[in-house]
Amino acid sequence: MPIVYIYNTLSRKIEEFIPFSPGRVQMYVCGPTVYDFSHLGHARTYVAFDIIKRYLVLRGYDVFHVQNITDIDDKIINRAKQEGKDWKEIADFFTKDYLNSLKRLNINVDLHPRVTYHIKEIIEYVSKLIDKGYAYIAPSGSVYFDVDKYDDYGALSNRRDKEQWSQEEFAKEKRNPYDFALWKAAKPGEPYWNSPWGPGRPGWHIECSVMSSKYLGNQIDIHGGGTDLIFPHHENERAQSEALLGVKPWVKYWVHTGLLSIGGEKMSKSLGNIMALKDLFKQYKPEVIRLWLASAHYRKILNFTDQSLEQARQNFERLINATSLLRDLISEEKYDFSLNDKDIKYINIIKDLREKFYQAMDNDFNTSAAFSQIYQVTNLLFKEIQYNSSITVLLKIYAFLGETNRVFGILDKYLIFQSIQREIDVETLINLVVDIRSKLRKRKIFDISDWIRDQLLQLGIKLSDTKEETKWQII
């Protein structure tokens, strides 16, 4: 196996990547709390881990990637109250938005465990922590982790001083202000599940310990999220997992993405400066957003500006132009029976750039250096190679773009040879036909609108009309 180097937040060093089981990578990433639309800041983290995963796969590893969904939380409960809805309706709605954003960004997570589908396992886990003496039941029926019982607290976030450990809950019933809730007793009117300690719901941190061990085993290779999660979330996860499972390290590599900011401030719902992905997709192709996010090293703070996204759009155009040029040049079936010196020179240049691409990615996933190799290849194609080069050289470039696309995932639609089909977005096309039909119906031109409905049905697209809108589904 080639050597990949990865930065570990715990050691604060770049280390050689050696998973617990040779060839296999167990990866857990902290996903969203579903109380609002997914935004560009979330995408920053999700794209970064998708690229890490894809690169490890390209390097021959089998990667299992779990990314959880927090579907019960104060913020969800509050939003439900504000809108007079059930908490589950809110959670389901924003879960759908999140999954749709992942799909559009070409992110493939293996498993999306939801907290409320794991309450039984959470109760079992908390019971074991109590039995082992790491947790205690408070008079209210809440259960807290006793931080003093775990002797390595603060190592991950580099906070060795107890003064720096204050937690979000300010309950008087805690033994120490830095203890944190594993189980929260239900307040009147809140959703709850029954437990040995009375009705309540899980605290935030416990879910990730429970679901990661259920699906990935007692030791995990990569555990990640944005740097905003290092304290208290990951510190608390680490404490409770190492305490209960009796393993050290519980996580071999702690990996954190630099936050996405706007005007120098973190993009977050609470600061009111989010750019929802669903809106951004109307302005930019998902591939452009993915390209922009992927072009910066994952640990860097990435500041949003219109200009930088515009630059990404131009870079994407260039890549598409390169693929379309290649398709045109390669389209005829040709074979080389000899090469000239120039061709041999180009082949060697492409080999070097390919090697540098791998070196960059091996070095803690240096995507910006990796992209620069791709642009060097495409520049050479535009400036020289396209004018008089052999099919061998062109196929080398095509293979290089295909290989790098396995990591960056922005050219899937463009690297295939059926040139017409590749750029048509079928969903948009169906929506357009449905809109036209709605306009006809409004003008009471029913014969044509019915004909459209029947034709679509023959193609396997079923329309259903309600008073407000027409929905479609593929049958």
**471 in helix, strand or coil?**
strand
Cα–Cα distance, 288 to 304 (Å, whole number): 13
Nearest Cα residue to 380 out of 427, 338, 342, 421: 342
**Alpha helices, DSSP H, located in 73-188:** 74-83, 87-104, 119-131
Nearer to ligand AMP, 94 or 197 (CB): 94
**28 in helix, strand or coil?**
strand
**Interacting partner of 74 out of ligand AMP, Zn ion, none (Cβ under 5 to 8 A depending on kind):** none
Cis peptide before 249 (omega within 30 of 0): yes
In the window 43-62, what residues touch ligand AMP (CB under 6 A)? 44-45
Contact 195, 76 (CB under 8 A): no
Check binding of 229 to ligand AMP (CB under 6 A).
Answer: yes
DSSP-derived secondary structure for 77-102: HHHHHHHT--HHHHHHHHHHHHHHHH
Q: Which helix (H) or strand (E) holds 42?
A: helix 40-58
Nearer to Zn ion, 5 or 215 (CB): 215
In the complex, minimum distance from the CB of residue 140 to Zn ion, in angstroms, rounded to a whole number? 24
**Interacting partner of 42 out of Zn ion, ligand AMP, none (Cβ under 5 to 8 A depending on kind):** ligand AMP
What region, left, alpha or beta, does residue 444 occupy, with left being phi > 0 and alpha being psi -120 to 50 degrees? left
In the complex, minimum distance from the CB of residue 205 to Zn ion, in angstroms, rounded to a whole number? 7
In the window 182-211, what residues touch Zn ion (CB under 5 A)? 208
In the complex, minimum distance from the CB of residue 195 to Zn ion, in angstroms, rounded to a whole number? 21
Nearer to ligand AMP, 226 or 409 (CB): 226
**Interacting partner of 38 out of Zn ion, ligand AMP, none (Cβ under 5 to 8 A depending on kind):** none
What is the separation of C-alpha 63 from the centre of its chain, rounded to a whole number of angstroms? 14
**Interacting partner of 208 out of Zn ion, ligand AMP, none (Cβ under 5 to 8 A depending on kind):** Zn ion
Cα–Cα distance, 58 to 110 (Å, whole number): 16
In the complex, minimum distance from the CB of residue 345 to ligand AMP, in angstroms, rounded to a whole number? 43
**Interacting partner of 59 out of ligand AMP, Zn ion, none (Cβ under 5 to 8 A depending on kind):** none
Q: Which of 101, 116, 268, 295 binds ligand AMP (CB under 6 A)?
A: 268
Check binding of 225 to ligand AMP (CB under 6 A).
Answer: yes
Q: Which of 154, 226, 232, 409 binds ligand AMP (CB under 6 A)?
A: 226
Nearer to ligand AMP, 241 or 405 (CB): 241
Q: Which residues pair with 52 in a beta bridge?
A: none
Check binding of 266 to ligand AMP (CB under 6 A).
Answer: yes
In the window 27-46, what residues touch Zn ion (CB under 5 A)? 30
Check binding of 42 to ligand AMP (CB under 6 A).
Answer: yes
Contact 43, 289 (CB under 8 A): yes
In the complex, minimum distance from the CB of residue 389 to Zn ion, in angstroms, rounded to a whole number? 51
Check binding of 30 to ligand AMP (CB under 6 A).
Answer: yes
Count of CB atoms situated within 10 Å of the CB of 338? 7
Cα–Cα distance, 376 to 365 (Å, whole number): 19
Count of CB atoms situated within 10 Å of the CB of 151? 10
Binding footprint of ligand AMP on the chain (CB under 6 A): 30-33, 41-42, 44-45, 225-226, 228-229, 257, 259-260, 266-268
Binding footprint of Zn ion on the chain (CB under 5 A): 30, 208
